[in-house]
């Protein structure tokens, strides 16, 4: 583990609120930068301070190489998050971000660190069930980018500019390698509630894989499904936000 990890570079806080009662950490999806959740953070009530995990290789960290191994990424986030665990906190992770958030919660538990009061797993299948989707990180550039476009999560202004897509290519490919080479190591259930969110028309994550999160908590479990595909957080944002707030 890198002992020189800078906590500030790992978290974006669009709306600092030192008096907030709770912190909510957002873990972006593959290719996602903090900007993906900026609007969410600014619309949260004053009793919640939101921080967005800032992975290397994107945003203001675009010059840094992206991390291709999930457990290495989790170790770095674990070290960086320590100063922010001084009040109750929860994790929200979408797609790739869900698995990162879950594995970070496991590391916190194993190290007797403060643990989240809730996990929100969004468009993310339970880790003990093999991912049935074909890996795409080794495809040719054309095939890979088409597969990414099919997920319907990349803004049209980027899709329509090939030069921007080329800039994102390295980071996207690294992120998909990270999640597609991830191997779940059997662990004991965590002690906080898990709220699993799915899209009713998500072709990549089935209802069964969402509901299978139930075995990973010793506490309360609830599955909720929203109108939309893999990126229902864009089309059903208000409903998802209300579900998060009512669960905290």
The residues that are catalytic are: 95
Contacts 24+ apart (CB under 8 A), 136-145: 136/176, 136/180, 137/173, 137/174, 137/176, 137/177, 137/180, 141/169, 144/169, 144/172, 144/173, 144/176, 145/169
Residue reference for tokens 């291709």: 68
Query: What whole-number distance in Å separates Cα of residue 25 and Cα of residue 53?
Result: 7
Alpha-carbon distance values, 61 to 11, 35, 64, 67, 167 (Å): 11, 13, 6, 12, 13
Query: What whole-number distance in Å separates Cα of residue 126 and Cα of residue 184?
Result: 10
Here the tokens at position 49 are: 């301070």
Kind plus residue range of the DSSP H or E element containing 63? none
Closest CA to 244 of 217, 219, 226, 218: 226
């Amino acid at each position: 583990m890198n002992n020189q990890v800078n906590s500030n570079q790992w978290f974006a806080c669009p709306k600092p609120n030192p008096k907030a009662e709770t912190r909510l950490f957002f873990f972006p999806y593959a290719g996602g930068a903090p900007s993906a959740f900026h609007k969410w953070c600014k619309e949260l009530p004053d009793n919640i301070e939101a921080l967005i995990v800032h992975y290397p290789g994107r945003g203001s960290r675009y010059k840094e190489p992206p991390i291709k191994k999930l457990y290495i990424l989790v170790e770095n986030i674990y070290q960086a998050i320590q100063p922010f665990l001084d009040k109750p906190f929860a994790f929200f992770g979408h797609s790739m971000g869900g698995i990162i958030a879950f594995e970070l919660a496991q590391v916190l538990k194993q190290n007797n660190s403060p643990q989240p009061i809730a996990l929100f797993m969004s468009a993310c299948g339970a880790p003990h069930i093999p991912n049935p989707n074909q890996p795409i990180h080794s495809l040719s550039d054309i095939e890979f980018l088409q597969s990414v476009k099919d997920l319907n999560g990349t803004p049209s202004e980027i899709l329509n500019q090939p030069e921007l897509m080329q800039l994102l290519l390295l980071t996207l490919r690294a992120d998909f390698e990270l999640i597609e080479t991830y191997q779940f190591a059997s662990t004991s259930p965590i002690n906080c509630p898990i709220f699993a969110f799915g899209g009713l028309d998500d072709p990549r994550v089935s209802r069964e894989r969402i509901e299978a999160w139930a075995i990973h908590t010793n506490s309360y479990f609830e599955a909720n499904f929203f109108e939309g595909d893999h990126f229902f957080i864009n089309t059903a944002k208000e409903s998802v936000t209300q579900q998060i707030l009512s669960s905290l």
